[in-house]
Amino acid sequence: MNTRNLIRWTGLSAMAAGIIFAGIQPIHPLDVLASVTTERWAIIQSLKMTMCLLGLVGMTGLYARQVKQVGWLGLAGYLLFSLFYALTMAFVFAEAFILPLFATQAPKFVEGFLGIINGHASEVNLGVLPALYNLTGLVGYVLGGLLFGIATFRAGILPRWAAGLFAAGALAPFVLAQLPHPLNRTFAVPMGIALAGLGYALWSERREPAEESIPDRASPHLRPAVAE
């Protein structure tokens, strides 16, 4: 498999990450203590971890496809949005495997950790985690998504409607900032659709036509007679 085809197949990762991101929002359990020990919570957190892994692969492919056209703006957006996926994966890992263990032994800690997500004040000291979570969203998701969306739109390699929606989806948290949790999860839907659209466009690109082979020399009996 050559590099071009490898990049093309990463489009499936981006498409899957976008579908998961948009699809889990309506069925996501409430970020409360009672949810963390449920089977539904375990399933959703597993999907979110899968989304982060696929997103990292998908973003790498999307950037590699247009690396020359997006320039430094695209590079900055790619790195920041990939950082969002990487740090989000760490938080999701804690939600999936750590919080259920402390649900009965340290409920205040679990409620405090969930408060980072649902916007409630914590009764325990979580150190740098709340600031890191907010920085991940602001710098990684918002700024990174905006830069990558703009760079992709300007490059014109992938569909501009998806690139524009990607940038708009990155700004959606500001537009929907007044919505209470969990209604503010709706801001993820445009971003998910945009990522899926970019991934599909990357995956569905046709391979470049094979180079035309050099015609063989004509058979001796077809060559024009040469006067002696």
DSSP 110-159: HHHHHHHHH-PPPSS--TTHHHHHHHIIIIIIIIHHHHHHHHHHHH-SS-
- Tell whether 214 is covered by a domain: no
With beta carbons less than 8 A apart as the criterion, state whether 158 and 152 touch: yes
Cα 220 to Cα 215, 224, 227, distances in angstroms: 14, 9, 15
Q: How far apart are CA 49 and CA 86, in angstroms?
A: 10
Q: How far apart are CA 215 and CA 211, in angstroms?
A: 12
- Tell whether 130 is covered by a domain: yes
- Tell whether 92 is covered by a domain: yes
Torsion, CA 103, CA 97, CA 86, CA 113, rounded to 10: 10
- Tell whether 141 is covered by a domain: yes
- Tell whether 224 is covered by a domain: no
- Tell whether 134 is covered by a domain: yes
Per-residue pLDDT of the chain in tens (228 residues, 90 and over written 9): 578 888 889 999 999 999 999 999 889 998 889 999 999 999 999 999 999 999 999 999 999 999 999 999 999 999 999 999 999 999 999 999 999 999 988 999 999 999 888 777 777 788 888 889 988 889 999 999 999 999 999 999 999 999 999 999 999 887 766 666 667 778 889 999 999 999 999 999 865 444 333 444 444 444 444 334
- Tell whether 210 is covered by a domain: no
Domain that holds residue 57: 3-205
pTM of the predicted protein model: 0.83
Tokens representing 218? 């004509």
* Number of structural domains in the chain: 1
- Tell whether 47 is covered by a domain: yes
Tokens representing 142? 């918002």
User: If we measure between CA atoms, which residue out of 99, 129, 98, 105 comes closest to residue 116?
Assistant: 129
User: If we measure between CA atoms, which residue out of 25, 31, 20 comes closest to residue 117?
Assistant: 31
